[in-house]
Structure 1
Amino acid sequence: MEAESSQTGTWRYERVAIGGGGYVTGMRIAGKGTDRTRVCRTDTAGGFIWLTAENRWQPLLQAGINIDPELMRYQYPRGAGCYDAAVAPSRTECIYLCQSGFVYVSLDRGKSWRRTTLPYYDGYGANSGSRATNERLAVDPVNHLIVGIGNPDTGARGGLHISFDGGDSWAAHPQIPAPSAPDRGMAIAFDPDSGRTGERTRLVYVWSYGHGIFRSVSGIQGHFDLIEGSPSDIGHMVARDGNLWTGGTSRGDGAPLRRWTERVGWIAVPGVPDAKHIAISPDGKRIVSMIASSAYRLSLDGGATFGPLTPRVRRKAVHIGWHETTNENYMSNGACVWDTEEDILYIAEGIGCWKCIGPPHDGSVPVYLEDSVGIENLVSMQILVPPKNSRIHYVTQDRNVATRDWWQFRQYPANIGVSNAVPLDHGGGIDHAAGNEDYLAVVSSKNGCCNISRDGGKSWAPVATVPRNVRATAPQPATEGTGFGGNIAVGPPGNMVWLPTGNNKPSVTFDDGASWAYCLFDGAEPENSGMRWHNQYSYQRIQLLADKERPGTFFLYHVGNERHDETSQRFRGIWKSEDGGRNFRRMRKDLIGPIYGTDAFNCKLKMTPGRSPHLFFCVGDVDANDTDSDIGLFFSADEGSSWSRVAGVREPLDFAFGKAAPGSDYPTLYAWGGLAGLRGLHRCIEFDPRRPGAAKWQTIGHYPGGSMDNGTVLAADMQEFGLVYLGLGGSGMFRAVSEASLRLG
């Protein structure tokens, strides 16, 4: 039957503060004094604007706050980020933004937005391999109504698109070709010192990958000629006073700093072999050539000479402690811009934004101050909130895991991850032991691949060994494996079952990881190939769990393979182990969801706390679009042998269990997905396991913090009714709490 739904009470979304974490790929600044406007873009969380009065960043687009949600799309793939953002130099309250396939414009410094008429395009690569290429979107310095964008498509949609009326109409420039290869891109540079042609800046440069750099001397609408000898691949270009500067590559590497003038042509700047990004002061005298690791060389004479490369960079936290303590010795540069009024160099980088006050030019070590408050751009993988201690364990890509007590949600962590030995440690899964919520295991891509905590996540230590099919990293001995991350399930302390990625078969340990053995299925050890175990580290997939009420009991869901051959039929279904994970026997011989293609990616299998053997299952994110596939949530009361559809949510990306509502004897169900045609966060407070088809759902809310990012992972508090945690695809984490619960608290 169709579920009943309603909007319930008053709920509040609150940020769980982590602080940055992902790549800031571009930054712009324009204006002076109180008119100064600074924006940045991220590869997973959209664009941001700096609020000087509040000393923090704020998302540029906020659905239901400063823009009609109907003018936006949910961000796909999970956390699609911002292609580019640009401030009009002649009118700094005018901002253009390309995000989630559309171009938007604001005339009031981001207080409100409208969508321009440029048609939707799903190939703007905010998170592509060329995401740090600058600048892709540019506004004419003398006319805020003239804007150009480089479309990276290699076909008819690619090339330079221009609007002369603030986005009301657009036209493709016939002389600028589309890039010759995908995922490489384009860039635009106006020369603000070149004078005017009517109400337009005279000199404009456009780069298209594989072709080179084109130049117009009659404005962006004028005739373009290819500059002879121009590089076919760059990462950044800047034009000032008749000089064109280029550096970097579209893949984010450094390249020789080159300078072009009409009189001399191209020259390689001596002593600068590795420029990635270029920043020029408004007077043209100070030029920064920044390399890929965010060290720099500085010229004080307009580029005639450059000082020595800074030997290193010293990071200093201001608000977000872990930005100083984490291993970010190689600071992946996204961009840098000058604020010469304040003598500040701003840097966009791999975990956030930084500022260098009075940057030294003599080769001494600069101090970069963390400047990322308000930006949250980690990719969520799993949230674990143990039912008794309510501690928040947030697993992410890039930084593995962050642990917080529930009351610390507004405080930035002092540390993050399990170790600082290796950066970019992609977290996979996490679990706590039966009977001991302080005993935790987390699996990831680096730093030992599997780490154990005995103090609730305050400290971590790698296991002594890893299974043979896992790609070992220090300190473990070398192996020939390919897997890492994936799922981990913990029985009693010391007993773990690990399903790594790369379609590698699971292993079990009974001694805290000192030794491992492959799990047996119906008495036989499966082959390590030919089946879809856990394919990809980026999947938010849970197909392995431990029964906390029956320590040593584990469940595993296997989808078989896409060939549906004899091997697939032999292993497909739900498996159960009652001996700590050494031997599994099959409880079900078929898929749970409707087809292999849905179950094989972001599915989640979970057990209701305190209600063993009740199991729930969803297929997770199915389609990279705004529609909801009618697949739903499934329930089993018999250890996975049979399943019933839970009425209500059509395509839940994840679900969670929270404290039962007053008067109810079953934990509250929460789900993010489609309900009655609306995507958002929903709850069911009167679930009856005898009648799953009669479930009634209430909508908690949509657009956490105005974000159109999707809720890909959920967890809820079993101690406080009405508290649920929502991890977004590329924008960090929120908690949703009912006002009634706040009043009771």
Structure 2
Amino acid sequence: MKKNYFLLFLLLLASLSGKAQNAWKNVQIGGGGFVSGIITSKNDADLKYARTDVGGAYRWDAANKKWISLLDWLSTDQTSYFGVESLAIDPQNNNVVYLLVGTSYFNNGKTAILKSTNKGNTFTEIEVTSQFKAHGNGMGRSNGERLAVDPNNSNILYCGTRRNGLFQSIDAGLTWSKLSGFPVTTTSNDNGVCFIVLDPASVSGGKTQIIYAGVSQVGGSNLYKSVDGGISWTAVSGATTSYMPQRAVLDSNRSLLIAYADLEGPWNGTEGKISKLSSTGIFTDITPAGITRPFAGIDVDPTNPQRLIASTTSTWWYQYTTPGGTAVYGDHFYLSTDGGTTWRDLVGNSGFSFETNGCTWVTGQSIHWATDFKFNPGNTAQVSVVSGNGLFTCDDINAVKTTWKFDAIGIEESVPLDLISIPSGPLMSVIGDFDGFKHTDVTVFAPQHAPTMGTSTSISYAGGNTNKIVRLGEFMYYSGNQGATWTKTTAALMGQKGRAALSYDGNTILHCPSGATSIYRSVDNGTTWTTCNGISISDAIPVSDQVTNNKFYVYDQPTGSMMISTDGGANFTSAGNPGSWGSKLIRTVPGNAGHIWIAMNGGGLKRSIDGGLTFTVPSANVTAAGSVGIGKAAPGKTYPSIYIWGTVNGVTGVFRSIDEGVTWLRVNDDAYEFGGTGNGNFVIGDMNTYGRVYMSTVGRGIVYTDSDANLGISDNEFKNDTQTFTLKAHPNPMKDYVILELPDYTNGTLVNIQVYDLLGKLIKQDMYTVSNNTVTLFSDDLSNQHGVLLVKVKTSNGKSGSVKIVK
């Protein structure tokens, strides 16, 4: 099955209008996740890609020295594609790139080959789930590459799979068939065929004949070779069976260099080796002398087969000392200039110099899980290595003391788990692995919470005392100064992680640990804890009323009951029932006592204005809502803005309402879906900037947009419209004209078209006849207008659509 998707770049809109209208950006964190592979072009020094285990794929922007995300267009039906298991560039055409994508625990393991013919700007989706499944976040995910393009024939590709053997395509990736001659289907560690390497010098009949395949197993054959273009395969004689191959690369002498470890990685290995297999079939052990650690990264200088680099993985040896005197431990990197006979440890006993590249939170972080290590083919003094927290580059590995800089600018791969926007205060987050951050400016890197504790699952502030914050992970910390300093609670928690809430005055803390059915309360900042009475809900999320002190709410998802406490959580009773199986993450409203919003998933959106006793549906047009959040009120409004990730009039996305949920405006588009709200499952409006909304992702960090409201265009321009449609425009930017594409039912009818400028001023309004489902606007009709314009179309039956164009 093939589908085409477009990665829409809105940089032109930003340059013409002074701000990126409806472009979604990242709250700047930097890295934050495992970059599982670096793939470089053989003949373009500026072209390289990074693949990640949960955050999609990126292309290097050499001019701006940053990475560009390629998969933000993924829908909720494609969330699994953020796990990129392998990536391959066509050696004969740098414009063509392929991705093997899929994650076992999203979308039932939906898997595809994504093909681009323009370096990742657009993709064709070739779903292969029925033939094989990828798991971009599985063990062995940094092995590779499993996906390879024949260097002598761009129509031929190979794909190693975890459970189904080896596949081949002979039509440039559009269809795939299993190679019956390959002897291995799966392995006990569920990692299967872990790399494919083709020998470009072995061409015959227009295709490469010699192919090597690595298999992720020990105790049996794990390196295979074909000399007939993949038809038949034999185990390579003399290959080790004590270790399993991780990665391999072919040098210009046609020798295969292989990194081995005892387990698949990236974190579980304990020992390994490096081998060289000559073109005549002779193995040589070229492991650095005295080093028995697992190896994973391996590469060869494309201009000098004697010059090799290799990296350990799952190794915790000294790397450097922070300015504060803390020693940091991680992997080591090796350079050989004699084909592996001898090696230089690039870290050594004295360590290396560490550069944050402006991302200050990485100070004290190690380079670890260094499972891929690559030369820059255009400057082989420069190398890059992956890490569990991003990617690092050394500009001169020939230096006496090497310097490694954090080189993940543009890569945002954190997994956001909770977020608060404090009125007249900062934005504060908690994320997986790396605690979270306090942002006073979301466009620059921010300090990490300290003390650190790793994965943190909850952060909350007191509505009536916004200086009081509590954050939760393995431990619980509280702050009385918005995170300037933190104090660890003294008593042992009744369980780790989960969710916590503060009473309106900040004097009471409620905590439901992960996996627990009880909620615990403390009135002395965690010095003592007691069990809340009258409530037993698994993984409950307590929420405080934003006006009434000591009032808490908990939604019981299976029964639909809204549980309420009016005595600081000491006792809970059942109140109203909005229905079962909504989102546990309910929202209360600043300045409005008893106001509750609840996203009911397939049941739409509901609200209460009487403290959870009764619930109403503000709009029947909202047919699904996965999450709901509150933000600053619109200009001229007193009630806060409401945001949802949901479905309105059949369209799924992020929506905003400024009239208490009666009407809705979509604030994202199909280019910015991010696979939905991910693990954190939140959309949250900024409490200080109207129109700014934040969204969690499965592994693309915290994303946000600033609304069109800044243009002065009202959300309610079509306030009475009950139905909308998608309006498309091309070419955009317009030239002498722009064609508007309308739904089929409009053909032959009259439509009203309105054009607004940046300030929301109506500059043109007229009736047009729809012909072949299109209307053409000419540049002369919009004389003296330049930059971003908003075009709105209203049909005779009251439906409407809008689109921004550039003139």
Q: TM-score, normalised by structure 2?
A: 0.75
Unaligned runs of 5+ in 1: 1-8, 64-68, 471-482, 535-541, 561-568, 621-629, 689-694
- Amino acid across the alignment from 1:81: G
Residues 317 and 666 (structure 1), Cα distance of their counterparts in 2 relative to 1, 3 Å cut: same
- Report the counterpart of residue 648 of structure 2 in structure 1: 675
Q: Deviations over 1:99-124 (max 9, x none)?
A: 34221222332333333475667831
Q: Find the counterpart in structure 1 of residue 479 from structure 2.
A: 453
Match for residue 378 of structure 2? 341
Give the direction of change, closer, same or farther, for the CA distance of 1:73–1:238 in structure 2 (3 Å limit).
farther
**Match for residue 40 of structure 2 among 23, 29, 37:** 29
Matched, 1:196 2:198: no
Give the whole-Å Cα distance in 2 for the aligned partners of 1:702 and 1:715: 17
| Secondary structure, counterpart of 1:650 in structure 2 | strand
* Distance across 2 between alignment mates of 1:117 and 1:687: 41
CA contact (8 A) 1:545 1:555 kept: yes
CA 697–73 in structure 1, closer or farther in 2 if over 3 Å, else same: closer
Q: CA deviation at 1:233?
A: 3.3
Partner deviation per Cα, 1:24-73 (whole Å, 9 max, x = no partner): 011111234x564211101111111101112111123453xxxxx7xx76
Q: Which amino acid aligns with 1:682?
A: F
Write out per-residue CA displacement over residues 682-717 of structure 1, whole angstroms, 9 at most, x where no aligned residue.
1222227xxxxxx33222222465744546311113
- Would you say the 8 A contact 1:247–1:277 is kept in 2? no
Residues 357, 407 of structure 2: 8 Å contact kept: yes
1:318 corresponds to which residue? 357
CA contact (8 A) 1:672 1:681 kept: yes
1:42-61 to 2 correspondences below 5 Å: 42-61=52-71
Alpha carbons of structure 1 residues 61 and 550: separation in structure 2 relative to 1, 3 Å: closer
Structure 1 match to 2:265: 251
Any stretches of 5+ residues in structure 2 without a counterpart?
Answer: 1-19, 103-110, 314-329, 713-758, 761-807
Q: Could you say which residue in structure 1 is the equivalent of 2:663?
A: 696
Q: SS of the residue aligned with 1:94?
A: strand
Q: How does 1:529-678 map to 2 (within 5 A)?
A: 532-534=537-539, 543-559=541-557, 573-588=561-576, 592-594=578-580, 598-599=581-582, 603-619=584-600, 630-646=602-618, 647-662=620-635, 664-678=637-651
> Partners of 1:583 and 1:365 in 2: how far apart?
63
Residue of structure 1 aligned with 2:236, choices 222, 227, 231: 227
Q: Which moved more, 1:49-58 or 1:714-723?
A: 714-723
Are residues 52 and 706 of structure 1, via their aligned partners in 2, closer, same or farther at CA, if it must alter by over 3 Å? farther
Which residue of 2 is the match for residue 409 of structure 1?
A: 442
Question: What residue is the counterpart of 1:277 in the other structure?
Answer: 297
Following the alignment from structure 2 to structure 1, what is the Cα–Cα distance between the partners of residues 646 and 22? 17
Matched, 1:383 2:419: yes
Distance 1:610 1:583 in 2: 24
Offset at residue 351 of structure 1 (A): 1.3
Alignment check: 8 A CA contact 2:155 2:172 kept: yes
Q: Structure 1 CA distance, aligned partners of 2:116 and 2:23?
A: 27
What code does the residue aligned with 1:251 have? G
Cα shift at 1:213: 3.1
Preserved CA contact (<8 Å) 1:418 1:461: no
Cα distance in 2 for partners of 1:162, 1:497 equals: 56
Asked if 1:209 is matched to 2:216, the reply is: yes
Deviation sequence 1:620-675 (CA, Å, 0-9, x none): 5xxxxxxxxx3222222332233334433333221112233355443221101222
Deviations 1:195-238 (A, max 9, x none): 32333333211123346434334354332112245537332233
1:299 aligns with 2:339: no
1:85 and 2:90 correspond: no
Aligned to 1:76: 79
The 8 Å contact of residues 83 and 99 in structure 1, kept in 2 or not, is answered as yes
Q: Secondary structure in 2 aligned to 1:740? A: helix
Aligned counterparts of 1:206 and 1:217: Cα–Cα separation in 2 = 8
* Match in the other structure for 2:433: 398
Aligned partner letter, 1:180: T
Q: In the aligned structure 2, how far is the partner of 1:62 from the partner of 1:191?
A: 32
Q: Distance between the aligned counterparts of 2:234 and 2:689, measured in 1?
A: 66
Matched residues in 1 for 2:392 and 2:467: separation?
35
Q: Name 2:282's counterpart in structure 1.
A: 264
Q: Distance in 2 between matches of 1:36 and 1:204?
A: 28
Contact 1:489 1:498 in 2 (8 A): no
Partners of 2:635 and 2:70 in 1: CA distance: 40
Opposite residue 233 of structure 1, the aligned amino acid is: M
One-letter amino acid of the structure 2 residue matched with residue 115 of structure 1: E
Which of the pair has more CA radius of gyration?
Answer: 2
Query: For 1:640, what is the secondary structure of its paired residue?
Result: coil
1:575-596 CA-to-partner distances (Å, cap 9, x unmatched) read 32222222333325x6x433xx
Asked if 2 retains the 8 angstrom alpha-carbon contact of 1:442 and 1:488, the reply is no
Amino acid at match of 2:550: G
Q: Is residue 13 from structure 1 mapped to residue 24 from structure 2 by the alignment?
A: yes
How far does residue 383 in structure 1 lie from its aligned partner after superposition? 1.8
Over aligned residues, Cα RMSD in angstroms? 3.0
Give the aligned partner of residue 5 of structure 1: none
CA distance in 2, matches of 1:444, 1:726: 21
Any conservation in 2 of the 1:179–1:185 contact (CA below 8 Å)?
yes
**Alignment CA distance shift 1:648-1:294 (3 Å):** farther
Read off the aligned partner of 1:396 and give its amino acid letter. I
Indicate the residue corresponding to 2:392 in structure 1.
354
Distance 1:382 1:88, change over 3 A: same
Question: Contact 1:335/1:347 (CA < 8 Å) preserved in 2?
Answer: yes
By relative contact order (CA 8 Å, sep 6+), the higher-ranking structure is 1
* Equivalences, count: 650
Equivalent positions of 1:147-186 (< 5 A) are 147-152=157-162, 154=163, 158-176=164-182, 177-181=184-188, 183-186=190-193
Change (3 A) 1:110 1:574: closer
Give CA deviations for 1:233-290 in whole Å, capped at 9, x if unaligned: 3322333323341313323225321424454347473534221221222122122221
TM-score, normalising length: structure 1: 0.80
Q: Is the contact between residue 507 and residue 519 of structure 1 (CA under 8 Å) also seen in structure 2?
A: yes
Contact between 2:429 and 2:437, CA under 8 Å: does it hold in 1?
yes
Change beyond 3 A, Cα 1:271–1:582:
same
Distance 2:127 2:694 in 1: 37
CA distance in 1, matches of 2:214, 2:114: 23
Contact 2:51 2:84 in 1 (8 A): yes
Structure 1 counterpart of 2:497, from 484, 492, 496: 484
Amino acid paired to 1:737 = D
Contact 2:248 2:256 in 1 (8 A): no
Measure the CA separation in 2 of the matches of 1:118 and 1:513.
Answer: 52
Q: Does residue 286 of the first structure (1) align with residue 307 of the second (2)? A: yes
Q: How much has 1:357 moved relative to structure 2?
A: 1.6
Q: Specify the SS of the correspondent of 1:484.
A: coil
**d(CA) in 1 for partners of 2:244 and 2:58?**
28
What is the distance in 2 between the residues matched to 1:484 and 1:419? Answer: 16
Distance apart, 1:430 and its partner CA: 1.1
SS in 1 for 2:374: strand
Q: Match for residue 742 of structure 2?
A: none
Q: CA deviation at 1:89?
A: 2.9
Instruction: Give the corresponding residue for 2:406.
Output: 370
Contact kept, 8 Å, 1:553 with 1:581, in 2: the verdict is: yes
Q: 3-state DSSP class of the match of 2:572? A: strand
Distance 2:310 2:486 in 1: 40
Q: Is the 8 A contact 2:39 2:49 kept in 1?
A: yes
2:704 and 2:650 map into 1 onto residues whose CA distance is 23
- SS state at 1:653 partner: strand
